[in-house]
């Protein structure tokens, strides 16, 4: 009973903080002229979004950070009173929560620097790709170093297979997975409400899995993340009054990775992050096909959500379809853990 109330309150409070912040943040961003610059190569109908405030990700970043810190502190000091023996290893879970939040915040800071550079230069180019990658790998390595210092090894759980010890290769693979997924989430932010909606369903999936595995601290963090995303969508759903910017999308990328590592199964990023992966894959395929065929295109435009836009899909339809796909694959991931772990 207390378990369910705790989870619900985490989601509700995060929703409220995120939604209410928009009431004050959006006018402030307008006042600072922190508006989006639309690329000329993008869909022509996106030109009307010129000037829409960016850095709206600050709304859910604040909500998730505040609620996660509060819920984790409550978890530490009250857990022993009502949590079953499954929760006896409180420090372990808290390490993942705090380290994961640090990973998300570090990527959010990278995004903030990128957004701020765009605003100052008044163009849709911020940090260079190399600069972003260096900073993102630094954040990923720092996250993995913290886990290593805390005593967590190089094993990972794969449903229906069991624990696999990857040795030193664990760190290499993990760093590549984190940076790759962070940038995949970033690419998903291109249609009103898309990244926030997809990430909402991803967080719900991780919440159900964490709950099933009796990770109460992680469950509360997932609930807060889902609630904060909904609060942001109050302002970001089509037609968007604010964009999350790289500040928000890179934060969410780090967050999704953190949740996968927190439940001990980074491999769950494959089903739960299927939309993110498809977005990244569409860009890679488009570039590769363009070079191989000397100018031909595999998609009308990439990332793939723009392809469907060019095919006549409305932004609302794209969000609905992509979110449904995430929900379905999230359910598949839950089933894999339920029956295979």
The span from the CA of 325 to the CA of 197, in Å, is: 11
Least trusted range by pLDDT, from 46-50, 100-104, 336-340 = 46-50
Q: Residue 193 pLDDT > 90, yes or no?
A: yes
Give 51 or 25, the one with higher predicted confidence. 25
Q: Work out the percent of the chain whose per-residue pLDDT is above 90.
A: 73
Q: Residue 88 pLDDT > 70, yes or no?
A: no
- Establish if 247 belongs to a structural domain: yes
- Establish if 38 belongs to a structural domain: yes
- Establish if 286 belongs to a structural domain: no
Q: How confident is the model at residue 95 (pLDDT cuts 50, 70, 90)?
A: confident
Instruction: With beta carbons less than 8 A apart as the criterion, state whether 34 and 99 touch.
Output: no
Mean pLDDT of the chain: 89
For residue 183, CA distances in Å to 25, 77, 169, 188 come to 25, 36, 21, 9
The string of pLDDT tens digits covering residues 258-301 is 999 999 999 999 999 999 999 999 999 999 999 999 889 999 99
Q: Residue 51 pLDDT > 60, yes or no?
A: yes
- Establish if 284 belongs to a structural domain: no
What single DSSP character describes residue 162? E
The span from the CA of 204 to the CA of 197, in Å, is: 11
Pair of tokens at residue 317 = 């339809």
Task: Give the model's pLDDT for residue 2.
Answer: 64
Average pLDDT, integer, range 310-322: 96
Task: Give the model's pLDDT for residue 85.
Answer: 37
Helices (H), 189-268: 194-212, 216-236, 245-262
Q: Residue 9 pLDDT > 80, yes or no?
A: yes
Q: Residue 3 pLDDT > 70, yes or no?
A: no
Asked whether the bond before 303 is cis by omega within 30 degrees of 0, the reply is yes
Q: How confident is the model at residue 48 (pLDDT cuts 50, 70, 90)?
A: low
Give me the torsion for CA of 42, 45, 50, 55, rounded to 10°: -70
Give 36 or 10, the one with higher predicted confidence. 10
- Establish if 154 belongs to a structural domain: yes
Structural domain range at position 19: 2-269
Task: Give the model's pLDDT for residue 82.
Answer: 39
Q: Residue 42 pLDDT > 60, yes or no?
A: no
CB under 8 Å to 289, separation ≥6 — which residues? 296, 297, 298
Q: How many domains does the chain have?
A: 1
Q: Residue 249 pLDDT > 50, yes or no?
A: yes
Task: Give the model's pLDDT for residue 65.
Answer: 97
Task: Give the model's pLDDT for residue 207.
Answer: 97
Average pLDDT, integer, range 214-218: 88
- Establish if 331 belongs to a structural domain: no
For residue 323, CA distances in Å to 188, 203, 327, 328 come to 12, 12, 6, 9
The span from the CA of 184 to the CA of 224, in Å, is: 22
The string of pLDDT tens digits covering residues 103-156 is 999 999 999 999 998 887 766 667 889 999 999 999 999 999 999 988 888 999
Q: Residue 184 pLDDT > 50, yes or no?
A: yes
Task: Give the model's pLDDT for residue 89.
Answer: 47
β-pair partners for 162: 158
Give 33 or 1, the one with higher predicted confidence. 33
- Establish if 301 belongs to a structural domain: no
Average pLDDT, integer, range 215-225: 93
Task: Give the model's pLDDT for residue 86.
Answer: 39
Q: DSSP letters along 237-256, please?
A: SSSPS---HHHHHHHHHHHH
Tokens 């849709």: give the residue. 124
Task: Give the model's pLDDT for residue 330.
Answer: 98
Task: Give the model's pLDDT for residue 87.
Answer: 40
- Establish if 325 belongs to a structural domain: no
Say whether 90 sits in a helix, a strand or coil: helix
């Amino acid at each position: 009973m207390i378990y369910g109330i705790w989870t619900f309150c985490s989601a509700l409070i995060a929703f409220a903080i995120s939604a209410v912040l928009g009431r004050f943040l959006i006018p402030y961003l307008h006042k600072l002229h922190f508006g989006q610059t639309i690329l000329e190569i993008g869909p022509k109908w996106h030109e009307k979004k010129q000037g829409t405030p960016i850095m709206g990700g600050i709304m859910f970043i604040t909500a998730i950070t505040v609620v996660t810190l509060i819920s984790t502190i409550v978890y530490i000091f009250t857990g022993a009173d009502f949590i079953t023996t499954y929760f006896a290893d409180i420090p372990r879970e808290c390490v993942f929560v705090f380290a994961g939040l640090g990973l998300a915040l570090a990527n959010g800071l990278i995004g903030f620097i990128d957004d701020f550079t765009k605003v100052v230069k008044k163009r849709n180019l911020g940090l260079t790709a190399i600069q972003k990658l260096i900073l993102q790998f630094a954040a990923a390595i720092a996250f993995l170093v913290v886990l290593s210092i805390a005593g967590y090894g190089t094993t990972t759980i794969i449903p229906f297979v069991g624990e696999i010890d990857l040795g030193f290769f664990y760190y290499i693979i993990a760093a590549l997975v984190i940076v790759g997924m962070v940038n995949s989430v970033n690419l998903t932010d291109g249609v009103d409400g898309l990244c926030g909606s997809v990430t909402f369903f991803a967080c719900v999936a991780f919440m159900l899995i964490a709950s099933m595995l009796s990770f109460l601290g992680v469950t509360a963090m997932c609930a807060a993340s889902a609630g904060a995303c909904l609060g942001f969508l109050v302002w970001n759903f089509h037609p968007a009054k604010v964009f999350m910017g790289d500040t928000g999308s890179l934060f969410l990328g780090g967050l999704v990775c953190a949740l996968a590592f927190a439940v001990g199964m980074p491999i769950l990023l494959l089903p739960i992050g299927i939309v993110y992966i498809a977005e990244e894959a569409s860009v890679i395929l488009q570039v590769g096909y363009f070079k191989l065929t000397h100018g031909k295109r595999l998609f009308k435009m990439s990332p793939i959500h723009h392809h469907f836009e060019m095919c006549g899909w409305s932004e609302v339809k794209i969000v609905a379809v992509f979110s449904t796909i995430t929900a379905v694959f999230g359910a598949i991931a839950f089933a894999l853990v339920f029956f295979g772990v």
